[in-house]
A and B are shown apart, each in its own frame.
Chain A
């Protein structure tokens, strides 16, 4: 995927997660920034 540096959180996908006892719906969120040199 291509994202603009510094953009707000973007939802990649909705998934199921589990702790071994219960399952929950969750979303995976992502953001990225190009590191500026000082």
Chain B
């Protein structure tokens, strides 16, 4: 019983430490690519509105959607700008992937040449990321982990760890957002 309490207390402390660190980080950054002239918004989730297993303290990160005017500006910037401005527009379109994908033909096609349209269609079709996590002890033994778990981008996901070694099975949950052509933001 005493050992069990120590284990629970230790796990609780670790989880709380992660939450505090991540929230400090979120208040400064929260994965928001910026682009010229348009106010980029995102907000942290209120964990109280989540319905999750006990111990899951990771809230969703609802993203304030772009207006149709902002989307139009972004497609236009991506089509006509160069350098940082074009890169920033692309990052934001990818960050708002679900919305950009839905409006690519309706709005984007008015500005984009076929090669640009095809490029965006291909990039916006990437809707998932694979996540690997492992807990490795001082002897180099992997005690628990997930191996290429499929996380939908922008949607909170739970991964159940089944293969553990001499360790209670933890539950891993988090959200992945795309913040650029090759970069992903994760809160686990």
A interface with B by C-beta (< 8 Å): 1-6, 9, 12-13, 15-21, 23-37
What is the CA–CA distance of A32 and B178 in the complex, to the nearest angstrom?
11
Question: How many chain B residues touch the partner (CB < 8 A)?
Answer: 42
Would A1 and B185 count as touching, CB distance under 8 A?
A: yes
Would B7 and A5 count as touching, CB distance under 8 A?
A: no
How far apart are A8's CB and chain B's nearest CB, in angstroms?
11
How far apart are A26's CB and chain B's nearest CB, in angstroms?
4
What is the CA–CA distance of A17 and B10 in the complex, to the nearest angstrom?
8
The one of A2, A21, A24, A35 that contacts B137, using a Cβ cutoff of 8 Å: A24
What is the CA–CA distance of A13 and B18 in the complex, to the nearest angstrom?
9
Q: A13-B18, A30-B132 are in contact. List 5 more A-B contacts (CB 8 A).
A: A2-B184, A2-B186, A3-B183, A5-B183, A34-B178
What is the CA–CA distance of A17 and B141 in the complex, to the nearest angstrom?
12
List residues of chain A with CB within 8 A of the CB of B18: 13
Taking chain A's interface residues, is the majority helix, strand, or loop, or is none over half, making it mixed?
Answer: strand
List residues of chain B with CB within 8 A of the CB of A27: 135-136
Would A35 and B3 count as touching, CB distance under 8 A?
A: no
Interface locus among B55-63, B72-80, B123-131: B123-131
List residues of chain B with CB within 8 A of the CB of A20: 3-4, 7, 168
Would B126 and A17 count as touching, CB distance under 8 A?
A: no
Given A19-B167, A33-B129, A35-B150; A26-B183 close (CB under 8 Å): no
What is the CA–CA distance of A37 and B3 in the complex, to the nearest angstrom?
47
What is the CA–CA distance of A13 and B16 in the complex, to the nearest angstrom?
13
